Amino acid sequence: MTNPLGSEITIGGIRLKSNVLMAPLAGYTCFPFRLMVERLGAGSAYTEMVSADALKYNNRATTQLLYTDNREKLKCVQLLGSIPTVFERAAKSELLAPFQIIDINMGCPVPQVVKACEGVALMEDLPKASKIIEACKRSGKVVSVKCRIGMNPEKIVIEEFARMCENSGADMITVHGRTRSMMYEGEPLYDYIRIAKNAVKIPVFANGGIDSKEKAEMAMAKTGADGVMLARFGFERPLLFAELTNRPTTDTKYTLIMEQLDIASECFDELFALTYIKKLSSYFMKKLPGTKRYKQELYKCGSVAQVREVLGWIFGGEGKIIADMFP
């Protein structure tokens, strides 16, 4: 194993406090969430996926996606697109000036992204993918790439793709150990992450299906990866970051959600704060028995004050069984 789970690691000259990272998740990894997982031990946390082309409009939605301030020590943004010149313009733009690391999305498998020749579709066009990496590197920022192992079992190209990323100047690769055809189902194919790791000298991170310390350690052992990246399980169970990095914490789901509510209310309008907190709270209660009525009460709330009251009831009052069962 190159680096023990939870250890510090250097990416392109930037020192990360741990090798346990949070993946970008569309609709979820907003500023408050990134602050939370950073505090719990994440070495980095990326913004939600941002269209490189959409940056030119500088609209409200893009501004919300890119919101950050000095509380976020390491600022990482993920870009989606397919045109090298658009990536270069975005990477050099004032909107991305605060961000030290740019991650290029070459792994998103959803149909509308693939049809636009973006995301994982770029794994079928290595010359274009290379030009995109080189374009982002001309910004002078650290550049990482998030990818899959290929489009389908007949088109697994991760070894060649990893070498292309390194030769084009990428400072790091995160490999989701599934093909595009697998989407988010099935056991990740860790052997192919190992192939990517053995093909290059830059750090390689393992991603896919990591929902516990045991699974993280297994992924590291099977792949030889330099670290792991959590995705939906990091959102469902953010305290997992503290567990994986051996950081003591007295936080519970209740204290975390109330902290998130405070930060979201401070940084965004009430509608955004309400939408985000309802989603996060629902994830915290995911798969727990008897929570349907709690979620129904939560989604009836029309103000931050009402949400605060209902969350207190769910996690601290009558519904305290939830916090007791899954702290």
- Is 1 contained in some domain? no
pLDDT tens by residue, the chain, 327 residues: 468 999 999 999 999 999 999 999 988 999 999 999 999 999 999 999 999 999 988 888 898 999 999 999 999 999 999 999 999 999 999 999 999 999 999 999 999 999 999 999 999 999 999 999 999 999 999 999 999 999 999 999 999 999 999 999 999 999 999 999 999 999 999 999 999 999 999 999 999 999 999 999 999 999 999 999 999 999 999 999 999 999 999 998 889 999 999 999 999 999 999 999 999 988 888 777 777 888 888 889 999 999 988 888 777 654 454 544 444
Q: b or e along 89-105 (b: 16 or more beta carbons within 10 Å of the residue's beta carbon)? A: bbbeeebbeebbbbbbb
Residues 267 and 124 in one domain: no
Cβ atoms within 10 Å of 287's Cβ, excluding its own:
8
Nearest CA-CA partner of 212 in 243, 254, 191: 243
Domain of 192 in residue numbering reads as: 9-244
Query: Where in the chain does DSSP place strands (E)?
Result: 9-11, 14-16, 20-22, 46-51, 76-80, 101-106, 142-147, 172-176, 204-207, 227-230
**Amino acid residing at 118:** E
Last residue of a domain, one of 244, 271, 305: 244
- Are 215 and 209 within 8 A, CB to CB? yes
User: Taking the complete model, does pTM exceed 0.85, yes or no?
Assistant: yes
Residues 185 and 279 in one domain: no
pLDDT tens-digit map of 225-239: 999 999 999 999 999
Distance, in Å, from the CA atom of 84 to the CA atom of 100, rounded to the nearest integer, reads 19
Residues 18 and 111 in one domain: yes
Nearest CA-CA partner of 187 in 165, 218, 226, 224: 218
What is the reported pLDDT for 326? 47
DSSP state for residue 163 in the 8-state scheme: H
Last residue of a domain, one of 207, 227, 244: 244
Distance, in Å, from the CA atom of 312 to the CA atom of 322, rounded to the nearest integer, reads 12
Residues 116 and 198 in one domain: yes
- Is 219 contained in some domain? yes
Residues 151 and 173 in one domain: yes
DSSP three-state, residue 142? strand
What is the reported pLDDT for 317? 55
DSSP state for residue 110 in the 8-state scheme: -
Residues 283 and 200 in one domain: no
What is the reported pLDDT for 282? 87
What is the reported pLDDT for 226? 98
Last residue of a domain, one of 227, 244, 261: 244
Distance, in Å, from the CA atom of 52 to the CA atom of 233, rounded to the nearest integer, reads 27
- Is 2 contained in some domain? no
What is the tally of structural domains in the chain? Answer: 2
- Is 58 contained in some domain? yes
Residues 74 and 21 in one domain: yes
3-state helix, strand, coil in the chain (%, to 5): 50, 15, 35
Tokens linked to 130: 């290379």
> Helix axis angle, 190-199 relative to 158-167, nearest 10°?
30
Nearest CA-CA partner of 50 in 136, 124, 162: 136
Residues 237 and 106 in one domain: yes
pLDDT tens-digit map of 135-174: 999 999 999 999 999 999 999 999 999 999 999 999 999 9
Task: Verify whether residue 108 is a known catalytic residue.
Answer: yes
What is the reported pLDDT for 283? 86
Q: Which residue in the list 30, 108, 147, 165 is annotated as catalytic? A: 108
Residues 41 and 104 in one domain: yes
Residues 187 and 287 in one domain: no
